[in-house]
Amino acid sequence: MVAILNNHSLPIAMALALSVTYLLHFSLVQAEHKGGFSVKLIHRNSPLSPFYNPSETPSQRVTNALQRSINRVNLFGSTNLLPSLNDPESTIVSDKGEYLMKISIGTPPVEISGVADTASDLTWIQCVPCSSCYKQKSPLFDPKNSNTYKVVSCPSSQCQSVSGTFCSEDTCHYKRFYRDRSYSNGIVSTETITFNSTSLGQTVSLPQIIIGCGHNNSGLFNEDGSGVIGLGRGSMSLISQMDSSIDGKFSYCLVPAFSPLNSSSKMSFGNNAVVSGAMVVSTPLLSGDLKSFYFVKLEAMSVGRKKLQYNSTLMPIAPGRGNIIVDSGTTLTMLPKDFYNE
């Protein structure tokens, strides 16, 4: 999901789909090496997923993924896009074209699954009491059962650091609206987030992480998930809040949705996120109109032996700026209509 914080449309060439098999390495800052960890990422359509539905046919899964991608690209506000066919670690599960990331919230920890979203910043979950919530299979998180849950007060620097907040009775509230009319409203809080590291064989806990405790949520959210895990570039994303412990580095490797039972995706943090070797290639992360997104630059595409140079006049950008966002929540790659027609 891409949060809408203003009325500007994104000057992007496409949304880059990431539910295919390749490795992406994000290195946001350069610093001395620190320990790292890894967690699993699981695609919904994988037999490893607890949400796997064996009764669905392959065509039904593709149809669901297609519709989900079209819904997501509409978040960008463009009508000119068409689909083309101690280092931490975390597990990711596929969820109808998206990947679910398992984390635990609170003390004692309660496991939840949220959409791993590189196009969102604020991490939020559905909480008790819920005045209006979308249906989810797992129990709602109850802050009263956690010893480490704390409401962010108003006014405070923590409240001001989260965009779209307002104060009511000395409590910091947030509102998140998405261009597909989905939304989440609730209270800005701090809580302990725990990862079950697959690389360390133990848990990794991060105290006082700013999250949203959603009490009024609705829209195109799936009942298998409990909210959104914000992995974007903004200051309040989970990655940015973990910066001092992971040197701002994370990477993920996404295996196909229908991989063998012993295959799983992973997200790695810190030292574990460093990708190296003779066959490794990279492309720079560039700036864009919105700071929350990871932009790269599309130069060309090949169809068979024919190379199609991307015509920057279709959507001109300034030098050193990107024209594609990397979106872990989109199944299909979306292209501008004129370029797609070529």
With contact defined as beta carbons under 8 Å apart, do 141 and 108 qualify?
no
Bridge partners, 249 (sequence order):
27
Q: Which residues contact 245 (CB under 8 A, 6 or more apart)?
A: 34, 206, 270
With contact defined as beta carbons under 8 Å apart, do 216 and 132 qualify?
yes
- 284-288: long-range contacts (C-beta < 8 A, 24 or more apart)? 285/26, 285/28, 285/322, 286/320, 286/321, 286/322, 287/320, 287/321, 287/322, 288/10, 288/11, 288/12, 288/321, 288/322, 288/325
Instruction: Report, as residue numbers or ranges, the catalytic residues.
Output: 117, 327
Q: Which residues contact 170 (CB under 8 A, 6 or more apart)?
A: 153, 154
For 61, 76, 182, the CA distances from 172, given in Å and listed in that order, are 40, 27, 21
DSSP H/E element including 240? helix 238-241
Task: Tell me the C-alpha distance between 205 and 193, whole Å.
Answer: 6
Token digits for 287?
């700036």
- What is the side-by-side strand order in the sheet with 81-83? 81-83, 334-336, 14-16, 324-326, 295-296
Decide: residue 129, CB within 10 A, 0-12 exposed, 13-18 middle, 19+ buried.
Answer: exposed
3-state secondary structure of 141: strand
With contact defined as beta carbons under 8 Å apart, do 102 and 109 qualify?
no
Among the listed residues 172, 171, 209, the one whose alpha carbon sits nearest the alpha carbon of residue 190 = 209
